Structure 1
Amino acid sequence: MSWSGFTKSQEKGSKFSLGKITKQQWLVLLLVGVLLAVMALPVKKNETNVQDSSNMTWTKTDQGSSLTQKERMERQLEETLSQVEGVGEVKVMLSVQEKTAEFYGDEEAPQVEGVVIVAEGVGNSVVERNIQQAVMALFPVEAHKIKIMKMI
């Protein structure tokens, strides 16, 4: 069989010829191109919603006091955790990234990077898990950045 015979047989049996592209084939190519373009667009995580809601919660309490926002956050977390069954007395230390810019006098909540908790009730795995889950619910902090220790 010669090459000319091979190409002629391919042209007769094929719906997709290179010479003519139908409107339907153009439409399919266009849709595939749009799909690829949409898939190539970068997607950002929107973490500002979590931070904004925590900003509102923390700034509403103790507005008249001279405490820094970090200290207010630590005290409020201490008060909350001390009310949990089995926890007892609690001391909290937050490691934060301070914001240097301030817009129109509004103070933004600092970004919490790590949490150290010292509590009487630590030693019970259920209490430790409850403390860790509470901290993770309040702050955007991974579990490995939370240290929970027993108070002496």
Structure 2
Amino acid sequence: MSYCSVDEIEQFSFEDCRILKMQQTAEGFQFQVEALIVRPQNSQNTQFTESYADIATLKVLGVEEVSAVKEGYRYYDADDRLIEEVPDTLLTSEQMGQMLKESAGAYLFEVRKDSQGLHMRIEFSDSSDQDPLASTTYEIVMKQKEVVVTWGKYLNRVQR
């Protein structure tokens, strides 16, 4: 890979990002993603503009602790009356492992770092004929040592 960014997760935008492949390694977690946007402030951005990276590898290394939550929701009718409420659900390690195994094709729409660790939000499309916008979202929180993102080349600039 030609470009390598270490602990600059805030210098990427994940708004269009899809997971192609995920695997758990002895070092942590590795995600292969497409449509990752490299921001102008990234130390590896030679374009100095928002640009898409080619297929990128996001490695979360030195993972000490992991938790995952299936995000709940509230469903309202057209008159703004609450019809159904589903609370957030903490996943077991087995459920989290299964969710990550099935993550190919899901959207990795947010990755951010704070004092609790690295937060990754993943959306799975549950669309059907009745509800083409239905989806299930998860938030994974990892305490990690570093995050390394590598990619081979830049693609087009982001058009906004």
TM-score, shorter chain, exceeding 0.5: no
TM-score, normalised to structure 1's length?
0.21
Answer 1 or 2: which has greater strand percent: 2
In our comparison, the structure showing a higher alpha carbon Rg is 1
More helix by proportion, 1 or 2?
Answer: 1
Q: Which structure has the higher relative contact order (CA within 8 Å, separation 6+)?
A: 2
TM-score after normalising by structure 2: 0.21
